[in-house]
Amino acid sequence: MRASWLERFARLPAGDRSLLVRSVVVLGAARVTLWLLPLQVARRLLARVVRWPAPGAITPERIGWAIGAARRMVPRATCLPQALACEALLVSAGHPAELRIGVIKSGKRKLLEAHAWVESEGRIVVGDLPQGLTEYTFMPPLPGPRD
């Protein structure tokens, strides 16, 4: 029989459990703030609220893992809330973070679709691109959340 999510959660190391709970809360907050506020206001608010106890203690890879797991628990946690939550956690943990947004025309009707992701030191942490980077037109970089 397959273990329940609670059993799998209980088997995680304490640090991963803490990171996962924090990620669910921050992702939920990102989802709600984006529903209520403009993007830049939501970014600044999350950057101010999220505080990490020990900067650098958590790697970008673990933050990416936690956001990926948290998205299954937060309704409608699409790429933009995931990117905002990841950016806030990375910056709070003392890691560089660059929120990126790209657009692509897809499908038979050539509808414009957007996708958000976060890079840290040139590597994608959250928001793998389904068609690959070369297919997207990148939007100009956004100023940092604390700018």
Q: Exposed, middle or buried by CB within 10 Å (0-12, 13-18, 19+), for 39?
A: middle
Region 42-48: mean pLDDT is 91
Tokens of 20: 């996962």
* Residue 128 DSSP class: -
Q: Where are the domains of the chain?
A: 5-138
Residues 6+ apart with CB under 8 A from 90: 60, 63, 96, 97, 118, 120, 125
Top pLDDT among 59 and 140 is at: 59
Helix axes 79-92, 39-49, angle to 10 degrees: 40
pTM, two decimals, is 0.86
pLDDT at 109 over 80: no
